Structure 1
Amino acid sequence: MTTKRIVNHPVLGKLEENKKITFTFDGQSYDGYENDTIASALLAHGIRTLRKHEESGNPRGIYCNIGHCYECRVTVDEVSNVRACLTPIKENMVIESGKVQPSPLDPKNEGDLPRTYDEFIRSEEQKKNANK
């Protein structure tokens, strides 16, 4: 498959100098690069649909790509509602799409949702430490 990446950027440098990372999206293995977000890694492989709308079921993908909207939410390592545009890929990360994600604006969802997978992991570690 032809990559849709910029491989030599005047500010960011040459892409091949970055470490390659393997991750899984919907059961298929892909390569990305260190410091790629989930969204940029998927987009480089031509993947544009990340989930389905909560009410209509219409396909949703990357919209703002800076964390202001909630369109790019995916499930990462069985954690739902992770924003693909803010979350860096990690080696062997398992990403799933196609699921109807809970609405981040639904008043029944109490508390703040984590914005990234790393935030989720930190909050889970804090909960574990609080229960010790």
Structure 2
Amino acid sequence: MSGRPDSDTGPDTADSEAAADQDESHDLLDESDKPLNEPDDLLDEPDDLLDESGGPLEDARRARWTAVGTGTALTLAGLAAALLRLTRSAPALVPAAYAAGAAVCAAASVLGSRGRTRRALWLLIAGVMVMALGDQFD
């Protein structure tokens, strides 16, 4: 059985069944279960979905700020290390590796600000690895 109504059901029966279903669904709605009509309703969350940190929106916002802050700090550290290695007698590969790692961390910071925090995390790891690899040539 497919669950579809029989084809020989008259139009008066089908209409009365649809009206009865609509009346039942209307009776089940109360003030707390009203349908979402406005865009602001999407931002309202029931209290049972909120955790102690403020909910999923707050977690996403915190992850973005963490990715941006970490990416910026690692970018500045990589650029400072590249400038310090340029002033000393080190192979040219060392400051280039620090600068490349800083560029990757800057890209991670941009991705983090746009909400791509997982990709930003992996780019931060890759940037630090490039800087560490460049340090091994010194």
User: What TM-score do the two structures reach when normalised by structure 1?
Assistant: 0.24
Instruction: Choose between structure 1 and 2: higher strand proportion.
Output: 1
Instruction: Choose between structure 1 and 2: higher helix proportion.
Output: 2
Bigger radius of gyration, 1 or 2?
A: 2
User: What TM-score do the two structures reach when normalised by structure 2?
Assistant: 0.24
